[in-house]
Amino acid sequence: MSTQPIIITGPFRQLLSMDNLPLKGSLKDSQLEILEEAGIVYQNGKILEIGLFKDLCTKFSSANTEVQLMDSDLIVLPGFIDPHTHLCWAGSRENDYALRLEGKSYSDIAKSGGGIWDTVTKTRNATDAELKRLLDLRASRQLANGITTCEVKSGYALSLEGEIRLLEIIRTINEEHLVDLIPTCLAAHIKPKDFEGGSSAYLEFLTKNFLPEIKRKSLSNRIDIFVDEGAFGIQEAEKYLAEAKIYGFDLVIHGEQFTSGGVDLAVRMGAKSVDHLEVIDAKAIAQLAASGVVAVALPGASIGLGCQFAPARKLLDAGCCLAIGSDWNPGSAPMGDLLIQTAILGTFEKLTNAEQLSAITFRAAHALNLNDRAILKRGYIADFIGFPGRNYKEILYQQGMLKPTRIWKRGVQKKL
């Protein structure tokens, strides 16, 4: 029998449970379950019940119960989920950004020595201590912005030893930090310049040498690949993903950022998600809507590159499951603020509050194959965040500038 006390926290001015909402399709704000003067009861990091605070205090009154009283108005909702980041890197790419402002394209910059390879070089040269420090700092910033679960990709080492090093660093920081870091292997980011052979040969090398090692060391359950011009083609990517699927990895695809084909591949391979989608067309939207693949929009990349957003309104109206990730990386999406990016995308794509909040809570969790968080209900992890205010609409109305002042991670409260 657990000796940890039952904790009742509240009262909250408003509580958004994000419960009883569909995984796919458009949403109206009227569908949100909103409780006023509410509380949350939890024990051992799991939610026992939500409801009216005064009723919970009566129901759970016992010697083993602690009450945490809130002394100000708070709007509470599940901790945010960022389903797509590249947080483990060293160096900076401010020169790339300046060149883009002068009119240079992403591919032109990469061909001239910038781009992903520039970060690979700097990350390879960084010490373990430096990479851990940087990842810890970025994870802490995510937490301060209300993100309690964050996906983190490798992909900035592009060698057998280097990619394993990055995944081990991600695992180390995950063990030390409050934020849950979900590792994804992106060794198939681009073909490294120092690999002798073509892109297909590189993927074959990964299949034979890397995938079994990742599985043996339990460093990741997810395999990602960048399918686009300057990265990997459809046929070679399909062969690689088929091998990864045999090993039991969940599949993720960077697709439809600059060229088409990634959605069709994701659907055929049964991927968990296809991420980017800036150039997706009507046929691919219909194909995605008919599948179980999550559409992950990355507005940070559109802002960073100055290109169109993923057509989130069309995706939702067609019946897709839409999640939103920050894509925080040193090249195309250096801002790294999920809530600001979500609010901007919501403004331009005319997304309701319910659609935006779903995209960074339970729908984002679904993209990561997580079914134990991002909804406030019995049995779920006690990850929740509190924003100052009296109306949940203030959060997106302030376009990401309103930040949480209290965060609970597995029931552990952190004041900000």
Interacting residues of 221 by C-beta distance below 8 A, sequence separation 6+: 248, 249, 250, 369
Residue given tokens 């509470």 in the structure block: 76
Residue 21, token pair as written in the block: 């909402």
Identify whether residues 362 and 381 lie together within a single domain.
no
Pair 116, 162 in one domain = yes
Residues 174 and 193: their CA atoms lie apart, in Å, by 30
Same domain membership, residue 157 and residue 85: yes
For position 2, what pLDDT does the model report?
55
CB 402 within 8 A of CB 392: no
In a domain, 1, yes or no: no
Check if the beta carbon of residue 224 is closer than 8 Å to that of residue 252: yes
Phi, psi of 149 (to 5 degrees): -135, 130
Beta carbons within 10 angstroms of residue 94's beta carbon: 10
Are 31 and 103 part of one and the same domain?
A: no
Q: Is residue 259 part of a domain?
A: yes
406-409 and 412-415 as β-strands: parallel, antiparallel, unpaired?
Answer: antiparallel
Is residue 278 domain-resident? yes
- Total domains in the chain come to 2
120 within a domain of the structure (yes/no): yes
Does 99 lie in the same domain as 10?
A: no
Count CB atoms within 10 A of the CB of residue 256.
Answer: 27
Same-domain check for residues 191 and 143: yes
In this structure, are 86 and 203 located in the same domain? yes
C-alpha to C-alpha distance for 99 and 165, rounded to whole angstroms? 31
Instruction: Count the residues in the chain.
Output: 416
- Both 31 and 122 in one domain: the answer is no
Starting from the edge strand earliest in sequence, which strands make up the sheet with 250-255, in order?
Answer: 80-82, 147-153, 180-188, 222-226, 250-255, 273-276, 294-297, 322-324
Residue 69 CA to residue 296 CA, distance in Å, equals 37
> Does residue 268 form part of some domain?
yes
Q: Residue 154: what pLDDT?
A: 98
pLDDT tens track for 196-231: 999 999 999 999 999 999 999 999 999 999 999 889
Among 327, 346, 367, the domain boundary falls at: 367
Q: Return the CATH number at 377.
A: 2.30.40.10
- Of the candidates 8, 184, 163, the one whose C-alpha atom is nearest the C-alpha of residue 83 is 184
Helix axes 262-269, 282-289, angle to 10 degrees: 20
Asked, for residue 262, whether it belongs to a domain, the answer is yes
Residues 18 and 121 in one domain: no
How, if at all, do strands 74-78 and 322-324 pair? Answer: unpaired
Same domain for 270 and 172 = yes
CA atoms within 13 A on the CB side of 100: 21
How large is the C-alpha radius of gyration of the chain? Answer: 21
Q: Which residue has the tokens 């965060």?
A: 407
Helix, strand, coil content of the chain in percent (nearest 5): 40, 25, 40
Return all residues near 377 (Cβ < 8 A) that are at least 6 apart: 17, 19, 47, 50
Contact 228, 262 (CB under 8 A): yes
Rounded Cα distance between 169 and 161, Å, is 12
Six-digit token string for 241: 């993903």
- Among 347, 367, 387, the domain boundary falls at 367
347 and 403 together in one domain: no
Q: What is this structure's pTM?
A: 0.97
DSSP string, 194-240: TSSS-HHHHHHHIIIIIHHHHHHHT--SEEEEEBSTTSB-HHHHHHH
Q: What is the residue-level pLDDT of the chain in tens, covering all 416 positions?
A: 457 899 999 999 999 999 999 999 999 999 999 999 999 999 999 999 999 999 999 999 887 899 999 989 999 999 999 999 999 999 999 999 999 999 988 788 887 888 899 999 999 999 999 999 999 999 999 999 999 999 999 999 999 999 999 999 999 999 999 999 999 999 999 999 999 999 999 999 999 999 999 999 999 999 999 999 889 999 999 999 999 999 999 999 999 999 999 999 999 999 999 999 999 999 999 999 999 999 999 999 999 999 999 999 999 999 999 999 999 999 999 999 999 999 999 999 999 999 999 999 999 999 999 999 999 999 999 999 999 999 999 999 999 999 999 999 999 998 77
Number of other CB atoms surrounding residue 93 within 10 Å: 23
* CA separation for the pair 227, 256 (Å, rounded): 8
405 and 285 share a domain? no
Cβ proximity of 355 and 322 under 8 Å: yes
For residue 36, the enclosing domain spans 6-79+373-415
